[in-house]
Structure formats: structure tokens, C-alpha cells
Chains A and B, each alone.
Chain A
């Protein structure tokens, strides 16, 4: 039997029959898959059509709107003048229009609020990750001590991440008043839900062998988690928590729109009261902050994981 003699799936003697049987099965499988592919494609096209229709996503609307984007940008662009750019404040404390000092009159207010935003993100991430850590063990199918604890912790985490942060923030502002505490609580609750699910899924991938080892020495459930699971999952937990911190910096710079603290509050104020170059001033600072935080956090995360893998 050589490759050169092999026929193209034509029925014949015994070994060729195996080939033709295989070819027939292959053809049947492909036919049934083709049907499914067509059905799936049609379903996708229907969904796409519906969503375009409902959201009114038509090219001419987009084309009409585009110039207005630039119009808005024109209104929030600062009117800087080269010769006045580095002009300081006058005797009476007034800044000269056209200078950087004029554009960033409230610079230190912005910095203070951005600092508050970062602190809000740190606090919320720590609180949320703490709750997520504790609940991720009962919420992992392979680790839960019994089914109702599993069910309860899963549902609790779902509720936590199901409610949008901005909605939670509104409720907390109403409950405890305007300020960063409302924002921190709102973000922490959402973080607990989102991280809890991710942590639980990491736990579900943990090897059962160390856990069995701790069971066999007479360890309690908590000891099985602390010694058998945590060392396995800790690097992944850390990495997810850092990723969440990046997300939370963005979230806490928005959440101030409903009065829950941070730079969002100021952004909302300058947009609704002035809509002038102050909007751009705040936006630039927010984008800069988020980018810098992302870069630092990514560095730490990759550095840590790299160290873990090559230890």
C-alpha cells in the first residue's frame, strides 16, 4: 500500500471501502454543519438589521452629526496666545486671557479632585476585592461546602454586579449625601460582584490535589482554602484586582456626575455651567491620569506575573 496508489474515495475492495465510508460520513457531517451555518448567519443578519433599525444607526444621520462634533470641540478649545502663554497673574490676582494660567485657573482644585478620584478607586477596589475574596470560595462549584451556600453566594455576587455603578451611586447619594463615600460604596459593591465571579472561576480551575492533601491531614474547610487553594490562585487574584483597579479609576472619574465625589463632579459642573475651555482642561487631566494609572498598573501586573512564572 503506497500513497501513490490511494484512490480518491471511490468504492472498491476492502481497504477502499473504509475510505468511501469515511468520505460518505464526512459529506453528511459537512451537509448538516452547512445547514447550521446558514441558520446562524440568517439569525445574525436579522439581529443586526433590528439593532440598526431600533438604534437609528443610519449613515446620513452620522454624516449630519459629524460637523457638530467639531463645532462642540471648537467651543471647548482654549483660546491660547503665544505671546501671553506664560503670563502670570496681575497685581489684583486676575489672570490674563490667552495664558495657561487663565485656562487652568482652577488647576489645584482639579488636582485635588483627581487625587480624590484615585483614592476613591483604591479604597473601592480594596473593599470590593476583600468581599470578592471571601465569597469566591463558597461561590466556586468545586469548593462550596454545600449547595445552598453556593447558590446564595452566587446570587449575591450576581446582584452586586448586576446593578450599574451609577445607579448605586444615585441611591447612596440620596441615602448618605453628596460626596466621595457614596461613590466608593457604589464602586466597591460593583467590584465585589465582578471580581467575585472572576475569582470564583479561578478557584474552579485550581488543582484538587493539594486540597485533597490538606483534607487528608485533617484540615477544616477554611484550612483547605487557606493552604490548598489560596497559594495556587493568589497571582491570578492579584492580576485581576489590578485590572479592576484600572477600570475603577475610570469609573470613579465618571461617578461624580451624580454627586458621588471625584473629578466627575467638576467635569459635570463645567459642562453644564460653562461649556467652554474649562471642559477641555478637565478632560485632558482625566485622560492623562487614566493613561498613567493604566501604564503603571500594567507594569506592576506584568512584572509580578513574570516573576511568578520564572521563579
Chain B
């Protein structure tokens, strides 16, 4: 299959830079006592209206925990120990998702923020028809709607993601993996949310299906203008179709930059390592280099920069002090932040 048509979408950086979701100082722990493991450390991240924000990192870097945390879906013993998640609806007062009362939280879920999960195979309940699972979310949020109208809406959603409407009454096991993930994407858009979180939505699918699904997400995003928080370990995927990319390591954001900028000129040695562990589809050949070592043990984090034991460019301060995420003094005119002693912060960034 030809991959000639680039997946890149029109740059939406020109869209007003107002935040739809503002994560401030979020910390997530697993466990509550002395053995608690901090999986997300003081993460601040802003998702702007209509943009695709990529979140990349190795397994165990805390990227999925971050997503579950901000949606308050952490399985026990996960607890949010600090921070705020401010959601700003297009019309209305900003709210802190983390302090919503149960009823308000239920109303917020899916209607404002929907999630497409990692497991394409297990996200649908095997004993209920696709129609039942599409309809119950509509029924939960708009109780007054007639069943006929809900069925029509469900059909419309299926058509939107390229599935024949006659599959509405199929059971999940009668659909292929790709179709199931399309159903999940259609379901995520059922209530026209402002934010869609995608947690490795294409991981369980083959490469061809990955492309098709990504293209579909891109089209739907252009049509409906929702913001996407796209989580993946596949940085090359993000470079192609996200506006900005944040790199996570050991529970922290270590670098955040516009996608093209990060691709051209990654500042953090970890980002650099991630970028160079995937072959590019286009462009000149280059040497592939992995990152030596393995992700840090969250129970025994290294001192200073948590990446320093694996870092090829470490020097004196790395093992001592934790670098703070800030805009690097050597790239003042670029809208980016990094947490690395090679590029110490010049100006304070909020």
C-alpha cells in the first residue's frame, strides 16, 4: 500500500491559543502509605482548543496514568495526590474536574471528554450488542430522547466512522479488531465532546489499519473541531499528525514543543533517543540508535534528572539537581519547554 499521501493536517497553531484543558501540577500515586509509588510527578500541560497534543514516552513513563488520572478513572490503588485539571467549556465557567461532585462528574464524562482506550478488543462488552452500547451512553446523557431517535443517532455514528449501519445490531465478536476500534471512535463522538483522549488507539491493530484509523481521526477532528490528547509510544506517528508533542519520562514531562520543531531539533537527549529509535518513512536514511538501559524504577528514582543514568550526554549537575521544565535560554524565540541541564531555562514559563 502506498504511503505517499502525508497524514499531516492543516496546522492549527493559528487557532486562538486558549486552553480547553489545563493540567496544573498533577501528581498521581499508586498506594497511600509509605510504599506509595508516584507514577505522575508534578505534570503541567495545556490542551488548546482544536489541537492535537501528542503525549509520548516508554512503557511505564506515566502517560496512561496521566490520562486516567485527569478523567478520574484511576483503578485502585491509584490516587491523585495533588494538582488541578481545569476544564474550560466554550461557554461557561472553568471547572476543576478533580473536585466535581459525583453527579456533575457523570454529566461531565463523555459529554465533554471522551476516551478511546488502548484495548481495541476489550473496550466493548462482549455480551451486549453494539447498538445497546452506543445507545446507553446517549440515554445516560439525554434521557428525554426517544429510542428511535437514539437508534438513528447510533446509525449516523457508525456511518461516520465508515461502518455499514446494518452492523448496528451485531455483537462485538462479530466485528474485526479494526471495526471495533472504529465503533469506539464513533462512540467517543456520540455526544460531540470538546476533548477526546486517545490512549494508544491503534496499538493492537496492524499497520494498514492503523493508517486508516488515524486518517479517519484526522478527518473527524477537522469536521468537528474537538481537541485530541493522543497518547502513544510511537513518536514517529505523533510527528506526522499532532500539533504539539509532550515527552514523558519517569512520570514527568521532560520536553514539550511543536511537532515539527521537536522532529527537527529535539533538545532533551531522551526525546532525541526516542526519535532515533524509529525508522522514518520519508527523508534521508539515518542511523538508528536505541536508548540504552531501561525505564527507571518508580520506587527508587535516581537522584537529580531521572534520565541521567541512561543519558549519553550527562554531566556534573545531572545527578544532583532536578532540572525544571522551562523555556530554554538558547532557544528563546521558540514556543517550547524542556527540562534538561544542557538547555537551562532562561525565562520563567508559566
Are A and B genuine complex partners? no
